[in-house]
Structure 1
Amino acid sequence: MKTPNDPVDHARTTRPHAGESMKDTKNMPGLIVIGVSLVLFVSALAAHATNHHSVGIGLGSGSAVLLLIGGGWLLAEHMRVRKIEERWYAEHPDAERQQPSRQRSR
Structure 2
Amino acid sequence: MGYTLPAVLSVPAVVAVELLWLRTGLFRRPGYWISMVIVVAFQILVDGWLTKLSAPIVRYDPGQLTGLRFPFDIPIEDYLFGFSLVTLTLLCWLRTRKETTG
What's the TM-score, normalizing by structure 2? 0.37
Higher relative helix content: 2
Greater radius of gyration (CA): 1
> Relative contact order: is structure 1 or structure 2 higher (C-alpha 8 Å, sep ≥ 6)?
2
